[in-house]
Amino acid sequence: MTEEEIHRLVRHHLVSLDPLTTEVPIRNDSTFGDLGIDSMSLVDLLFALEREHGVEIPDEDLEDITTVGDLVRQVSRTTA
């Protein structure tokens, strides 16, 4: 999966968590806080990626994920 495909996938899941995210641009440098995604919603996003796409992000890497780009890169590493 390319980083562009992963970005679209993450965007899809973000919109499913909070439909208002369609009103703001979702860029790689967007923080989840800027998008209105709190820590519980981020956990929901990670579980959805794991459940639906087999993406497993090690627990020790979770604290390093603060932006959409961080998540895209982490997913890219785990699916490579």
Total length of the chain: 80
Q: Identify the active-site residue in 38, 44, 61, 64.
A: 38
Non-local (6+) Cβ contacts of 61 within 8 A are: 74
DSSP 3-20: HHHHHHHHHHHHHHH-GG
Tell me, yes or no, if 38 is annotated catalytic: yes
Residue tagged 């932006």 (tokens): 67
Residues recognised as catalytic: 38
